[in-house]
C-alpha cells in the first residue's frame, strides 16, 4: 500500500497506481516496448538503445533505471516485505511513530536513517553489517533512543502476518529482540555496467549525476527517479519525471535539424 499519496486519502496499492499511470500514458500516445537493454550509444546527436529484440533511435533519452537494493537473504525477509520489513526509511519510517524498530545496515545512509528514525520511533536498534567507524558510533550515541547492537548478526526475522521481532546472534548466544519494524539500509547502487559503458557519469555510490534540470553529463540524456538517489518517495520521483519530460521536449524542439 502507498500511504499519503496526493489524491488518495484512503491510500492505494502500488499495483493499482502503476496500472492507472500505465493506462494514462497509453491514452496520451505513449508506446511501451518490452526488452532487456544490452547496450546504449548516447554521445551522438541521434541516440541508440539496443535490446535483445531491436535497436531504437531517439533524439533524447530519459534514464529511469531504478536502483538495486542489497537483499540480506535471511529467513522471514521476503515473507514479511511490506509487513514490517522495509528498504526505505523516509517512505515508511513515519508509520512507526512511538514504536520499536531495527535498522540493519552500514554506511552513511544507514547512520542518517537511524538518526531520522530516532525522532519518530520510541526505540531504535542499530545492527551494523560491518565494523562501525568511530565517527559513526559517536553520531549514534548522541541520540538516546538509539541502541547499537555491536557484533550482532540477525539470523531470522520473526512474525506471521507482520514483523514481531528478530533473532540475533551475539557471539554464541542467541536472543530475541521484540520490534515492530525492520529497515534494511545498505549502500544503494543503481544498474551501472551499461550506464558506465555508455559514458554516463555517476558518483562514488553509483548514483547518476544530474543538475537541477535532471540533465546528465551527456547532452540530450536525462535521468529521474531512484537512480539519481534523491528523495526516494513516489511523489518526488513523479515530480522528477514531469520535470525531465518537459526539459527533454524543450531540448528536442531546440534541435530542429536533428
**Parallel, antiparallel or unpaired: strands 55-58 and 47-51:** antiparallel
Predicted confidence at residue 235, as pLDDT, reads: 87
- Reported as a single tens digit per residue, the pLDDT across 108-149 is 888 999 999 999 999 999 999 988 999 999 999 999 999 999
At 107 the pLDDT is 85
Question: Residue 227 gets which letter from DSSP?
Answer: G
Q: Is the pLDDT of residue 189 over 90?
A: no
Between the two ends of the chain, the Cα-to-Cα distance in Å is 43
> 95, exposed or middle or buried, with CB in 10 Å at 0-12, 13-18, 19+?
middle
Determine the pLDDT at residue 128: 92
Residue 5 is predicted with a pLDDT of 87
CA pair distance 61, 43, nearest whole angstrom:
11
Helix (H) or strand (E) holding 245: helix 234-253
What average pLDDT does this structure show over 55-69? 89
pTM, rounded to two decimals: 0.68
Q: What percent of the chain has pLDDT over 70?
A: 98
How long, in residues, is the chain? Answer: 258
The whole-angstrom separation of Cα 242 and Cα 258 is 23
Mean pLDDT computed over 190-213: 86
pLDDT of residue 64: 93
Q: Give the pLDDT of residue 190.
A: 55
Of 5-14, 192-201, 225-234, the range with the lowest mean pLDDT is 225-234
What pLDDT digit, counting tens, does each position of 12-57 carry? 988 999 999 999 999 999 999 988 888 999 999 999 999 888 999 9
Given a contact cutoff of 8 angstroms between Cβ atoms, the answer to whether 113 and 89 are in contact is: yes
Residues 203-222: pLDDT tens digits? 877 789 999 999 999 999 99
Per-residue confidence band for 98, with pLDDT thresholds at 50, 70 and 90 = very high
* Cell numbers linked to 159: 512474525
Grid cell in block for residue 125 = 536498534
CB 219 within 8 A of CB 200: no
Where on the phi/psi map is residue 82: left (φ > 0), alpha (ψ -120 to 50), or beta? left
d(CA 164, CA 72) in angstroms, rounded, equals 18
Q: What is the pLDDT of residue 188?
A: 60
Are the C-beta atoms of residues 148 and 168 closer than 8 Å to each other?
A: no
Contacts of 217 (CB under 8 A, 6+ apart): 199, 200, 201, 209
Measure the CA–CA gap between 184 and 179, rounded to whole angstroms.
14
- Backbone φ and ψ for 135, nearest 5 degrees, come out as -65, -30
> Domain spanning 33-67+188-253 has what CATH number?
3.50.50.60
Distance CA 180, CA 165 (A): 7
Between CA 61 and CA 217 the distance in angstroms is 12
- In whole numbers, what is the pLDDT of the chain averaged over residues? 90
Domain with CATH 3.50.50.60 in the chain: 33-67+188-253, 85-185
Fold of 85-185: FAD/NAD(P)-binding domain (3.50.50)
Amino acid at each position: 500500500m502507498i500511504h499519503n499519496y496526493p489524491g488518495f486519502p484512503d491510500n492505494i496499492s502500488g499495483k493499482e497506481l502503476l496500472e492507472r499511470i500505465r493506462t494514462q500514458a497509453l491514452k496520451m500516445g505513449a508506446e511501451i516496448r518490452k526488452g532487456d537493454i544490452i547496450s546504449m550509444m548516447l554521445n551522438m546527436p541521434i541516440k541508440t538503445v539496443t535490446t535483445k529484440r531491436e535497436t531504437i533511435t531517439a533524439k533524447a533519452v530519459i534514464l529511469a533505471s531504478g536502483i538495486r537494493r542489497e537483499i540480506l537473504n535471511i529467513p522471514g525477509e521476503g515473507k514479511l516485505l511490506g509487513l514490517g520489513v522495509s528498504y526505505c526509511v523516509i517512505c515508511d519510517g513515519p508509520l512507526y511513530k512511538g514504536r520499536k524498530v531495527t535498522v540493519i545496515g552500514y554506511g552513511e545512509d544507514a547512520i542518517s536513517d537511524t538518526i531520522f528514525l530516532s525522532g519518530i520511533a520510541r526505540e531504535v536498534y542499530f545492527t551494523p553489517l560491518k565494523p562501525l567507524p568511530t565517527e559513526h558510533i559517536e553520531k549514534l550515541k548522541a541520540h538516546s533512543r538509539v541502541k547499537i547492537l555491536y557484533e550482532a548478526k540477525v539470523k531470522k526475522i520473526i512474525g506471521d502476518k507482520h514483523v514481531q521481532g528478530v533473532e540475533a546472534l551475539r557471539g554464541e548466544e542467541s536472543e530475541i529482540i521484540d520490534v515492530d519494524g525492520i529497515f534494511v539500509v545498505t549502500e544503494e547502487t543503481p544498474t551501472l555496467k551499461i550506464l558506465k559503458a555508455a559514458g554516463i557519469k555517476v558518483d562514488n555510490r553509483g548514483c547518476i549525476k544530474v543538475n537541477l534540470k535532471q540533465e546528465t553529463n551527456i547532452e540530450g540524456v536525462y535521468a529521474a527517479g531512484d537512480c539519481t538517489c534523491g528523495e526516494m518517495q513516489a511523489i518526488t520521483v513523479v515530480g522528477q519525471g514531469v520535470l525531465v519530460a518537459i526539459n527533454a521536449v524543450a531540448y528536442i524542439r531546440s534541435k530542429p535539424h536533428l
